Structure 1
Amino acid sequence: MSRPSRRTAPGERIPLGKRIPGGQDGRRMLVVSFVDRVGSGLWGATAALYFTFAAGLSTAEIGLLLGASGAIGVAGPPLGGALADRVPLRPLLIAVQLVRAVASLALLSTTDLRLLLAIASLGSLGDRASAVLTKLYASRVAGPDRARYQAINRTAANSGWAIGGLIAAAALTGGSVAVYRWLLIGDAFSFVASALITLGCAEPPSATRVVASSDPRGQEEQDGRPGKTAPGAVRGTAHGPAPGAAPPNPWRDRGYLTFTATEAVLFLDDSVFKIGLPLWAATATNAPHELAPLLLVLNNVLVVLFQVPLARFGATPHTARATLRPLAGAFLLGGAALAASTAGAPWLAVGALVLAAIAFTAAEMLHATISWELSIALAPPSAQGAYLGVHGLAQAVQRSVGPLAVTAAIAAGPLGWLGFGAGLAAMCGAQRHLVRDRGDGALSVAPVTVSEH
């Protein structure tokens, strides 16, 4: 039986296990995220350089390698999520980490483009599957505090990525080809270390047990009378589907698929920072070119400082749905600031670009907590892994179409950025309409029908 929550008295010291949801296992998984991202920072900053100077590939071959392996990696989230509903989660996560380590080390063994493509595709599948499995593990060990845990996890991951990038930058001052190989080995070692840390974690409770234990009202009474639905226990019961019934299939759930499609659009803030801001600042404004990397640093620092405090905006499904309104405002402000950055003196351009970076960073943090909560709350507990795997496609699709959308906004000039911000704001409204408040302590997605004609 769950115990009633107790508020902390002013000045009372909170035990570490209470400050971080999930207890000891939750803390270990934060270390996993940090170590994983340190390795990703080492490799992400030097991948193109390694394939150029160590593997001897041309620019066109590198583009083909990264593009094709990324496209194949799109299958990682649904594959990992589907497996997580059928096998124990902890050993699956360990296996995926080891696959990533093997793929990284295997890149050192060949310079043949075809072999590199096969190896990179395997690593890409592991990377995308690992993200979904880590999210699923966190949702199970953190329970009702999953929004706060996810915020802490993003802070740890961003810190790891920044440290990995700084190490890579310092190492590259040596100018030796051997440095690229050692950075790749460091990336592989981070996956091995993550697997070893995960080995010390316990198998998390199943999704149905998490729902059942989060609130005693979510369980059926012992005498067979149905109980009330617990807040957050949506679109399913604590005991899964009826005996003999097939588990819910996310590929046949048009409402959840439509929700995932809206998510792919709202994740476009990622392409804004990777492509939009640097290109726009350098080609369309009077701001100094050295401002572009500083805007990325500003983004990283703001996420580390404010992601956890902003987690309260996604503490419950209802709060997450309501936060779509301020998210729309952040997107509008960011688009307007980029449009305004072309006018006036250099200092005005710098001010507008900084404001745009702050607005899109706020949008990134708000959407992260909204997306985390709604993607889980709208998934049936008996098929949570499969549903989260499908939701993982949103970011994968964004990585493919995001650069096209952002460069189209740049080509259209200031009006393009105004339309870009307005379009994202409109998508927030569409998602809020799609995600319905049922009025009984739960949310659902509106039914979506497809014409037969």
Structure 2
Amino acid sequence: MLLISFLDRIGSGLWSSVSVLYFTYVSGLSIAQVGTLAAVSGAIGIAGAPLAGRLADRFPLTRIMIAIQLLRALASFALLTTDHYLPLLALSAVGALGDRASNLLTRLYATRVAGPDRARYQAFNRTAANAGWALGGLAAAAALTLGTTTAYRWLLTGDGISFVTVALLTLTCAEPRSSTHLAATAGDPLRTRRPANPWRDRTYLAYVATETVLFLDDTVFKVGLPLWIAHRHGVPHGLAPLLLVLNNALVVGLQVPLARYGTTAAAARRLLIPLSAAFALGGVALALSATGGTVQAVCLLSASAAAFTLAEMLHATVSWELSVALAPDTAQGAYLGVHGLAQAAQRSIGPLAVTAAIATGPLGWTLFGTVIALTCAIQHRLVRDRIQQAPLSVPLVTLSEH
């Protein structure tokens, strides 16, 4: 499964970094059309996680994963067949739906296979995904030096091929036994017939709402830092991609070691305290970067990037554990699907939040970090009575080499 994540993200890196350019220079869409396409497809994609979660509680997980990968491949290859706006919009929406569903299913597979060791497994999985994303991005950058339509089309083709390859590799993976199946074999048919409904679980929905705020670190790197640097006099614009490289390098190097501190629900909850400090420090460092000369600004921006990266890694560990620990065993797919809405939702509100912080100036970044830090404290209190001290009762399955 680690190889699958690596190859999946290579394809995503090939396409995500050039999709806007493809639609502009190859398909000939206007700026407004490209923006609308991204917004609409992203909104439709939000449904991917809860839909996949529901299906995963009812059907074999690996079969759904294969179907989703083939759906993504079909959408990618179909984009090559048309330059008309409405078909491009529909195909992009299908691709976004598959992307969100695939993320959820990969995570659920790790949860069912790794059992109580899921935090460490997820850390390895995230490291492999980051490495694949970086490799795909570098390959895309190299291909774009050609600047030809053929180069763009080959990148999109590579994206589709990666999904087909992942589907074939998934065929070799063992099918994990779901907790619903375990409940039935243990003589608990009532729990099997009536799984819990996450949409009626107010505590879990409140937890997901706080998660939406904590996922804002993603927007900091994709939107916040580049825009802040672009509007900060005296700071070289080339610093923005270097900070992304720093982020990726830190995740690859430190995500697995940090995972050891969040292997139980109680331990993950305790990590919310240093997580709040990391968010607050990141916001303060960004605010102070506007007060000095170039050298000081570069140092503070680098410190802020490091702090937000630490927050990203800590939150990943906390989120992996608590999202599962707060979910009933018989409805893990449905609950994790609802949890997946948090990351999708922040992709909509995140750009608004960071642009508001930039428009407000240094005070805005201080408030930005403080609000997220306070949200950590709210989540710390919210989950106190619901965390499950015991590990999931899911037996380990022999992992395929893939």
TM-score range, shorter chain: over 0.9
2:107 corresponds to? 135
Tell which deviates more after alignment, 276-285 or 333-342: 276-285
Instruction: Decide whether aligned partners of structure 1 residues 240 and 287 sit closer, same or farther in structure 2, where only a CA change above 3 A counts.
Output: farther
Which of 121, 127, 134 is the equivalent residue of 2:93? 121
Note the C-alpha offset of 1:210: 7.5
Note the C-alpha offset of 1:246: 2.1
Matched, 1:36 2:8: yes
How far does the alpha carbon of each residue in 1:317-337 deviate from its partner, in whole angstroms, 9 at most, with x for none? Answer: 110000000000000100000
Matched, 1:86 2:58: yes
AA at the equivalent of 2:46 = V
Instruction: Decide whether aligned partners of structure 1 residues 92 and 333 sit closer, same or farther in structure 2, where only a CA change above 3 A counts.
Output: same
How far does the alpha carbon of each residue in 1:235-257 deviate from its partner, in whole angstroms, 9 at most, with x for none? Answer: xxx77673685210001111101
Instruction: Decide whether aligned partners of structure 1 residues 88 and 320 sit closer, same or farther in structure 2, where only a CA change above 3 A counts.
Output: same
2:396 corresponds to? none
AA at the equivalent of 2:170 = T
RMSD of Structure 2 on Structure 1 (CA): 1.8
Which of 311, 318, 339 is the equivalent residue of 2:266? 318
Query: 2 CA distance for matches of 1:289 and 1:182?
Result: 29
- TM-score normalised by L of structure 2: 0.94
How far does the alpha carbon of each residue in 1:3-38 deviate from its partner, in whole angstroms, 9 at most, with x for none? Answer: xxxxxxxxxxxxxxxxxxxxxxxxxx1011000000
1:184 corresponds to? 156
Query: 2 CA distance for matches of 1:325 and 1:440?
Result: 19
Q: Contact between 2:264 and 2:389, CA under 8 Å: does it hold in 1?
A: no
Number of aligned positions between the proteins: 391
1:52 corresponds to? 24
1:260 corresponds to? 208
Q: How does 1:57-72 map to 2 (within 5 A)?
A: 57-72=29-44
2:352 corresponds to? 404
1:17 corresponds to? none
Matched, 1:164 2:164: no
AA at the equivalent of 1:344 = G
Query: 2 CA distance for matches of 1:245 and 1:47?
Result: 44
Larger relative helix fraction: 2
How far does the alpha carbon of each residue in 1:42-90 deviate from its partner, in whole angstroms, 9 at most, with x for none? Answer: 0011101111111111111111111101100111000000000011101
Gaps of 5+ in 2: 392-402
1:193 corresponds to? 165
Q: Contact between 1:208 and 1:240, CA under 8 Å: does it hold in 2?
A: no
Query: 2 CA distance for matches of 1:239 and 1:62?
Result: 54
Q: How does 1:19-418 map to 2 (within 5 A)?
A: 29-208=1-180, 242=190, 246-418=194-366
Q: Contact between 1:96 and 1:130, CA under 8 Å: does it hold in 2?
A: yes
Note the C-alpha offset of 1:286: 2.9
Q: Contact between 2:183 and 2:330, CA under 8 Å: does it hold in 1?
A: no
1:428 corresponds to? 376
Secondary structure, in 3 states, of the residue corresponding to 2:190? coil
Q: Contact between 1:240 and 1:381, CA under 8 Å: does it hold in 2?
A: no
Q: Contact between 1:103 and 1:123, CA under 8 Å: does it hold in 2?
A: yes
Note the C-alpha offset of 1:384: 0.5
Moved over 4 A (4+): 208-212, 238-241, 437-440
Instruction: Decide whether aligned partners of structure 1 residues 110 and 204 sit closer, same or farther in structure 2, where only a CA change above 3 A counts.
Output: same
AA at the equivalent of 2:265 = P
1:16 corresponds to? none
Instruction: Decide whether aligned partners of structure 1 residues 239 and 336 sit closer, same or farther in structure 2, where only a CA change above 3 A counts.
Output: farther
Note the C-alpha offset of 1:287: 1.8
AA at the equivalent of 1:273 = F
The structure number with the bigger radius of gyration is: 1
Note the C-alpha offset of 1:122: 0.9
Query: 1 CA distance for matches of 2:78 and 2:202?
Result: 40
Query: 1 CA distance for matches of 2:138 and 2:191?
Result: 54
Q: Contact between 1:84 and 1:385, CA under 8 Å: does it hold in 2?
A: yes
Note the C-alpha offset of 1:174: 1.0
Note the C-alpha offset of 1:436: 1.2
Query: 2 CA distance for matches of 1:258 and 1:370?
Result: 16
Secondary structure, in 3 states, of the residue corresponding to 1:247? coil
AA at the equivalent of 2:21 = L
Query: 2 CA distance for matches of 1:284 and 1:322?
Result: 37
Q: Contact between 1:318 and 1:437, CA under 8 Å: does it hold in 2?
A: no
2:397 corresponds to? none
AA at the equivalent of 1:330 = A
Query: 2 CA distance for matches of 1:357 and 1:301?
Result: 12
Query: 1 CA distance for matches of 2:93 and 2:388?
Result: 45
Query: 2 CA distance for matches of 1:372 and 1:69?
Result: 26
2:395 corresponds to? none
* Aligned sequence identity (%): 64
Q: Contact between 1:335 and 1:422, CA under 8 Å: does it hold in 2?
A: yes
2:399 corresponds to? none
